[in-house]
Amino acid sequence: MAKLTTKIRLYCEANNKIVDFQNNVNVQDDGAGAYIKSWSVDGLTKPTESQLASYETAGNTEEKNNTVRVTRKAAYGDIGEQLDEIYKDIDSWKARIKSIKDNNPKS
């Protein structure tokens, strides 16, 4: 299940707004589940439960892809090391990067 903050961000982006969780949107979880405690996104009404639910699939995909990005970044290693590897043997670097991407596909 996608996080509420992910669905809120997608809702805002779909409406050409940038969400600021520090100043404009306060999400709270009192133990019964996360909810929007306060909303002050200029020019955009607070989303309904139905509107947020419509971003569930996109939110799940986004969160999975974020996990893949973190995994890939760790596997790629330091950019300096990659540049050295490219300089020494670009074909080896290409094969290594392809293997990392194949083993960690995005949705």
Residue 102 domain-assigned? no
Residue 47: strand, helix, or coil: coil
Residue 35 domain-assigned? yes
Please tell me the predicted confidence (pLDDT) of residue 107: 86
Q: Count structural domains, the chain.
A: 1
Distance CA 67, CA 104 (A): 9
Residue 86 domain-assigned? no
Return all residues near 39 (Cβ < 8 A) that are at least 6 apart.
24, 25, 26, 46
pTM (global) more than 0.85: no
Residue 70 domain-assigned? yes
Task: Spell out where 4-68 has E strands.
Answer: 25-29, 34-39
Q: Which two tokens stand for residue 82?
A: 């990659």
Residue 57 domain-assigned? yes
Distance CA 79, CA 67 (A): 20
Render each residue's pLDDT in the chain as its tens digit; 107 residues: 999 999 999 999 999 999 999 999 999 999 999 999 999 999 999 999 999 999 999 999 999 999 999 999 999 999 999 999 999 999 999 999 999 999 999 98
59: domain CATH number is 3.30.56
Residue 25 lies in domain: 4-76
